[in-house]
Amino acid sequence: MAEVPSMDEILKDAPSNWGKWGEDDEVGSLNYLGPAQVLAAVQQVSSGEVFTLQRLIGDPKGDPVWPGRSPAVRTQILDESSWDGPDAPAFPGGLHYADDKIDAFLQGSTQYDALGHVWYGGQLYNGYDARTSTGGLDKASVQPIAERGVVGRGILLDMARFRGKDNLEKGEVYSHEDLVACAEAQGTPIEKNDILIIRTNFLKLFFEQGDAFYEGFAEPGLTYSPELVQWFQDMEIPNLVTDTIANEVTFDPASGAALPLHCALMRNLGVVFTEICDLEELAASCAADGRYTFLYTAAPLKVAKGSGSPVNPVVIK
């Protein structure tokens, strides 16, 4: 088997935004989304329709998760039966209530990744030393992303529809040129600072295949090329959102490396990743009315030192 080059080798000439927004920056390309971009995004709203992009936590069908992670487990702590018997809690006036908790991987469902979620060569986004982060991310955690929130113009790029398919196949790749062509075919070109929301209908593929999906684990997704990374840089893309687990094809077909775009886009450019979204209702609406751009908002949870956070992004058309 051919040796897989190191990420340092693969990305040796790749662009970087380290230092661009100051040596303390932890939100990267979200800095592109200032008040002017927010006001322009609000102008996209015309019908007032609202779409939420989170998958249901506790979906009886299960959850698509990266190998080694498990779906969230919700446990009921108190229900009506908890209030029977001599040791039951008691509150004046007969108050009863339900309590429950969730045990969840922060990347186990629809989520925002922190910029420090992946790294190579011992350095996180903006050059932070990976070794100084113990017991969580001291730098580039999800907390600063959650504190600022994400608001901008979103554009749906319906790659499955563009390719005339119900869903993209296992390991099926697409490039930035395909995204540009998809947008042109939809009638609205991608603009600088757009939040890219790419639909592959991966969830259909995943649930059809069940456990078999993990044999030869390979998601459909963006594929690494130096030109694609430069395009993201030139277009100043702040946030990449998809319906897949990892946004990119799992193993780079050229080098065999796992997730080189996480390294090139997230770690080097500070492009924020949002994964495992349910885009089906939004896609149906866009196909019906031909409007593929809208106001996109997301408020990940403020998790101290967190490498990610569950989120329910909201789109307003």
Q: Interface mask (CB under 6 A) for ligand UVW, residues 270-299, using x and -?
A: ---x-x------------------------
Amino acid at 138: D
Q: Which is nearer to ligand UVW, 160 or 240 (CB)?
A: 240
CA distance 22 to 123: 16
* Cα→Cα distances 5→16, 56, 161, 223, Å: 20, 38, 35, 16
What's the CA angle centered on 163, arms 251 and 284, to 5 degrees?
105
Q: Quote the least distance from Cβ 236 to ligand UVW, whole Å.
A: 22
Spell out the residues 6+ positions from residue 145 whose beta carbon is closer than 8 angstroms to its own: 26, 27, 30, 112, 114, 115, 272, 300, 309
Q: Quote the least distance from Cβ 7 to ligand UVW, whole Å.
A: 13
Q: Which is nearer to ligand UVW, 44 or 250 (CB)?
A: 250
Q: Which is nearer to ligand UVW, 150 or 295 (CB)?
A: 150
Site for ligand UVW, residues 210 to 269, rule: CB under 6 A: 245-246, 259, 262
CA dihedral 77, 78, 81, 83 (to 10 degrees): 130
Q: Quote the least distance from Cβ 233 to ligand UVW, whole Å.
A: 20
Q: Which is nearer to ligand UVW, 111 or 293 (CB)?
A: 111
222 contacts 259 by C-beta, under 8 angstroms:
no
Site for ligand UVW, residues 98 to 117, rule: CB under 6 A: 107, 113, 117
Amino acid at 108: G
66 binds ligand UVW (CB under 6 A): yes
Q: Which is nearer to ligand UVW, 65 or 316 (CB)?
A: 65
CA distance 197 to 195: 6
Q: Which is nearer to ligand UVW, 133 or 293 (CB)?
A: 133
Size of the residue set binding ligand UVW (CB under 6 A): 11
Residue closest to ligand UVW, measured at CB = 246
Beta bridge partners of 153: 295
CA distance 313 to 111: 9
Nearest one of 124, 305, 151, 143 to 238, comparing CA atoms: 151
Q: Quote the least distance from Cβ 69 to ligand UVW, whole Å.
A: 8
Q: Quote the least distance from Cβ 150 to ligand UVW, whole Å.
A: 17
Site for ligand UVW, residues 149 to 188, rule: CB under 6 A: none
Q: Which is nearer to ligand UVW, 193 or 247 (CB)?
A: 247
Residue numbers at the binding site for ligand UVW (CB under 6 A) = 66, 107, 113, 117-118, 245-246, 259, 262, 273, 275
